[in-house]
Amino acid sequence: MKVLVTGGAGYIGSVMIPIFLEKGYKIICLDRFFFGKESLKDVSSDSNLELVKDDVRWFDANLLKSVDAVIDLASLSNDPSGELDPLKTLDINYLGRVRVAKLSKEHGVKRYVLASTCSVYGFQEGILDEASPTNPLTTYAKSNVLAEKDVLTLADDRFTVTVLRQATVYGLSPRMRFDLAINGMVLGVYKNRKIPVMRDGTQWRPFVHVRDTSKAFLMVLESPENKVNKQIFNVGANDQNVQIFPLAELIKETLSVPFEIEWYGSPDKRSYRVNFDKIKNILGFVPNYTPKEGAKEVYEALENNKVTDSLKTKTVEWYKHLLEANKLLEEVILKDTLL
């Protein structure tokens, strides 16, 4: 089976692709490589992996001709990055994904899986499942809601469409992200014995390990069409819903090192507690990892210099840097033209 993974060199993709290769899948990774492609260096010589540097908004659709399934991970991948240039965000995260899905269908691809997010629930009381109303509060979350709706309407007997609303991911990846709550807290403890906690700490978030969310995508591809077609699944586990302050306490207990809490931000407007029964009951998905295990592996990797907190590991900071560099380049080109 040949799978095209968009955004495959990112945090999730660079964990997912080696798992898929190990299983014997052929993979095309279509990515702008905004964070480089070093994250795939351990598998780059695998003859079943093809790397294509291109953009979901304008890649040549002939690439899809021999593809059986698409996993659509490419996006500006968090709330702050999505606000840097909201129109670009809608262009990539909404229209870009709908383009990938439509072209996939036109080119005979059998399955399409959208990497969405539980942040579509925004702020709500109670425990939310796939049938609950969405309440997207940011451009990032709104783009996901729009993309979900449009790609699901493409589903039919020949084109299986599945939406996976992932919880906030944690754990080690070769394209490390320290802008994710658990990873960021561990980095804070490691660097200056301070855990950054977003005010007021009572907000709920669901979590899932990066290897577990990768497994969920694999399970969807390997499930019969009638179980997954035109379906939305939350990806996570009921017992990995945690409030942010208790999460800091959990990290403290896990790492057993002294630290202080460092409060930041104005009170978080996002809080959502999610029900994950559907993916468990229909696909048999049960995570293998817990936040404690994820925190430990990240801390150990920091201690052993297997990972560092370069600018690239803070997604919004890196995109800001790329946009600045772009602006400079445009200024130079414009100057040349005027001259």
Ligand X SMILES: NC(=O)c1ccc[n+]([C@@H]2O[C@H](COP(=O)([O-])OP(=O)(O)OC[C@H]3O[C@@H](n4cnc5c(N)ncnc54)[C@H](O)[C@@H]3O)[C@@H](O)[C@H]2O)c1
Q: Which residues contact ligand X (rule: CB under 6 A)?
A: 6-7, 9-13, 31-35, 55-57, 73-75, 77, 92, 96, 115, 117, 166, 168-169, 175, 177, 180, 315
Number of C-beta neighbours around residue 103 at 10 A? 18
Judged by beta carbon, residue 105 or residue 175, the one nearer ligand X is: 175
Judged by beta carbon, residue 152 or residue 169, the one nearer ligand X is: 169
Distance between CA atoms of residues 319 and 62, nearest Å = 29
Judged by beta carbon, residue 74 or residue 155, the one nearer ligand X is: 74
Residue 47: CB minimum distance to ligand X, A: 22
Judged by beta carbon, residue 34 or residue 259, the one nearer ligand X is: 34
Residue 143: CB minimum distance to ligand X, A: 9
Judged by beta carbon, residue 32 or residue 296, the one nearer ligand X is: 32
Judged by beta carbon, residue 75 or residue 203, the one nearer ligand X is: 75
Residue 204: CB minimum distance to ligand X, A: 15
Q: Is 171 left (phi over 0), alpha (psi -120 to 50) or beta?
A: left
Residue 176: CB minimum distance to ligand X, A: 9
Pair type for strands 204-209 and 123-128: unpaired
Residue 177: CB minimum distance to ligand X, A: 6
User: Residue with CB nearest ligand X?
Assistant: 10
Residue 10: CB minimum distance to ligand X, A: 2
